[in-house]
Amino acid sequence: MTISSSLNAGVAGLQANATRLASISDNIANSSTFGYKRVQTDFQSMVISSNGGTYSAGGVRASTERLIDQRGSLVSTANATDLAVRGRGMLPVAQLTDVNLANGSNQMFLTTTGSFRTDANGYLRSDSGLVLMGWPAQPDGSVPTFPRDTSDGLEPVQINVNQFSGEPTTQLSLGVNLPATDTDAGSAGDVQYLSVEYFDNLGTSENINISFTPTVPATGTSNEWTMQLTDSALGGAVVGEYVLTFDDSRSAGGTLASVTTTTGGAYDAATGNIVINAEGGPLEINIGQLGASDGLTQLSDSFAPVSISKDGSPVGNMTNVEVDPNGFVTAFFDTGINRTIYQIPLVDLPNPNGMVALDQQTYLPSPESGSFFLWDAGDGPTGDIVSYAREESAVDVAGELTAMIQTQRAYSSNAKVIQTVDEMLQETTNIKR
């Protein structure tokens, strides 16, 4: 009956607008929730009779969708591990309860922002119990190749704030001037000494002691020195000895003319390097190329260590960690060195709005969202990771209040339809009297 369908349509209108009001209420309640994605309610008409003749009202049906692909604006914070995704992609996280089970299987959840701090066990976790996930780096700071279509390689990011780190010295560069007058006939032939510190594999300070002995000829000038290197870690044992000859021509005066190896690794003329076997392993020392003035030279009458540089560092304490835009988690130490300890990927899906929404602004991939892929942040379709930042709620309060007024009016109108139908049914009942 047409009048009954009008009543059903009015009831459907009340239900649909009540659903819309519920989504608006949820949006307004979470207008200050970091990372919240607003819910949108759409109406679809229900058609029962579209042919001629008597018309039956079908009413309306409400459908809701969480707009996960909409992003809020970013706000700066003072915490280095407050993270937000700028652009496409989501951060992988896990529930702290799963991590504490330590069963080797952590369900991957997704979020677009989080305030992470180290807990008692060193995990980077949020106040809501979400633990940041990433790929662990090797001791040298490189990140191995992990599968990108599964979360099996991801591990909870754990920061050991009491961690120590040191780097062994593998390279030295010597920029030293030897006095040219010491190789003249009749000179005293004084030996010049130089000690260079290096760090062994355990971060202990050791020294390579270098002596330069001039060759004093009977007449003229020899322009020749004997360089001997000893290692304090080996009790002063000789690890290399070389005969150095310098050029005295007008075009290349004072530069190396030749290097003859007595003991130790051979001199590489292409790079200017010699390799000695120190206690901890091979140590590469750059003394300069032939004809170049950036290594060992023989000029004037003074001995001058002009430039000495090396890699490596002593043992130091971790001071803080930061996450760069490409997702690399870097630990900084009080010795000035830094080391990559994790890489945070960004997870992308073909249809982000098809994911299952859960508490704490987290989401799970579903058949509707499509298969996920783990990208390097800033690569492919994904954006980058911003530290010292949070993502605000994607809710526009002014727009939601406007929609609330519209919903209230629509609800009242549908209630009026029901009231009118009730009055018409009353009139029909009165016909019998």
Residue ranges in 86-217 assigned as alpha helix (H) = 96-101
Q: Are strands 297-298 and 171-178 parallel, antiparallel or unpaired?
A: parallel
- How does residue 267 score in pLDDT terms, banded at 50, 70 and 90? very high
pLDDT over 70, % of the chain: 96
pLDDT for position 161: 65
Task: Report pLDDT digits (tens) over 324-367.
Answer: 999 999 988 877 778 899 999 999 999 999 999 999 999 999 99
Q: Which domains does the chain have, with CATH numbers?
A: 2-67+394-430 (no CATH), 77-163+322-391 (no CATH), 169-311 (2.60.98.20)
At 60-101, the pLDDT tens digits run: 889 899 999 999 999 999 999 999 999 999 999 999 888 888
Cβ neighbours of 57 (radius 10 Å)? 22
Which pLDDT value is given to residue 366?
93
pLDDT score of 419 more than 70: yes
- Read out DSSP for 413-426? HHHHHHHHHHHHHH
Residue 285 pLDDT greater than 60, yes or no: yes
Identify the band that residue 56 occupies on the pLDDT scale cut at 50, 70 and 90.
Answer: confident
Please report the pLDDT score of residue 319 as a whole number.
Answer: 82
Q: What is the mean pLDDT of residues 139-163?
A: 85
What's residue 162's pLDDT?
Answer: 60
State the pLDDT confidence band at 273, using cuts at 50, 70 and 90. very high
Give pLDDT, residue 311.
Answer: 86
pLDDT at 44 exceeding the cut of 70: yes
- Beta strand spans in 97-158 (E): 109-111, 113-115, 117-118, 124-125, 130-136, 155-156
Residue 24 in this model has a pLDDT that exceeds 70: yes
303-316 pLDDT, tens digit per residue, is 999 899 988 877 77
pLDDT of residue 1: 55
pLDDT confidence tier of residue 398, bands split at 50, 70 and 90: very high
Q: How many CA atoms lie within 13 A of 41 on its CB side?
A: 21
Mean pLDDT of 154-181: 85
Tell me which amino acid residue 319 is: T
pLDDT at 320 over 70: yes
Q: Which residue has the higher pLDDT, 201 or 215?
A: 215
Residue 47 CB neighbours (<10 A): 10
Q: How many helices (H) and strands (E) does the chain have?
A: 3, 31
What's the pLDDT tens digit per position in 221-248?
999 999 999 999 999 999 999 999 999 9
Q: Is the pLDDT of residue 294 over 60?
A: yes
Burial track 7-45 (b if 16+ CB lie within 10 A, e otherwise): bbbbbbbbbbbebbbebbebbbebeebbbbbbbbbebee
Mean pLDDT of the chain: 90
Confidence of residue 405 (pLDDT cuts 50, 70, 90): very high
Q: What is the pLDDT of residue 58?
A: 73
pLDDT at residue 124, rounded to an integer: 93
**Rounded average pLDDT over 29-45:** 92
Q: State pTM to two decimals.
A: 0.71
Task: Assess whether pLDDT exceeds 70 at residue 153.
Answer: yes
Q: For position 164, what pLDDT does the model report?
A: 62
Q: Where are the beta strands (DSSP E) in 119-200?
A: 124-125, 130-136, 155-156, 164-167, 171-178, 192-199
**More confident call, 141 vs 113:** 113
The owner of tokens 């300890």 is 341
